[in-house]
Amino acid sequence: MGLNQYRTKRRFSETPEPPGNEPLPPESGESIFVIQKHQASHLHWDLRLQEDGHLKSWAVPKEPPTESGVRRLAVEVEDHPLEYARFEGLIPEGGYGAGRVEIWDQGAYWLFFKLKPKP
């Protein structure tokens, strides 16, 4: 997907969200994840996984489960820049995704296998 959709939806002169212009950090061998609590028009959580120099992102309408075996719906949304993994703040009214964003959990993850996309 890349970052074109992300940049098109935002006015960076009005939002504190990162535009995604920072150079990529040196490869550490670990991929990062972040879960952000997002109080927008509806409270939801955003799951973001590092892949190919950006964050693949999903909106999760219900609080992530704290016990094993509980499933949650996750709806894919636009990719986000890596800097977004450190973003917390208030997206102003009138902006895309307006509301408070807080880091709920973060860390590293390891991908044991990767499915090949269908041709």
Please say if the pLDDT value at position 119 is more than 90: no
Tell whether pTM > 0.75. yes
Query: 119 in a domain, yes or no?
Result: no
Q: Give the per-residue pLDDT at 38.
A: 97
pLDDT tens for residues 80-116?
999 999 999 999 999 999 999 999 999 999 877 777 7
Q: Give the per-residue pLDDT at 91.
A: 96
Query: 101 in a domain, yes or no?
Result: yes
The residue among 105, 97, 104, 100 whose CA lies nearest residue 80 is: 97
Q: How many domains does the chain have?
A: 1
Residue 21 token pair = 């212009």
User: What's the mean pLDDT when you consider all of the chain?
Assistant: 89
Query: 114 in a domain, yes or no?
Result: no
Question: What range does the domain containing 88 cover?
Answer: 4-18+29-109
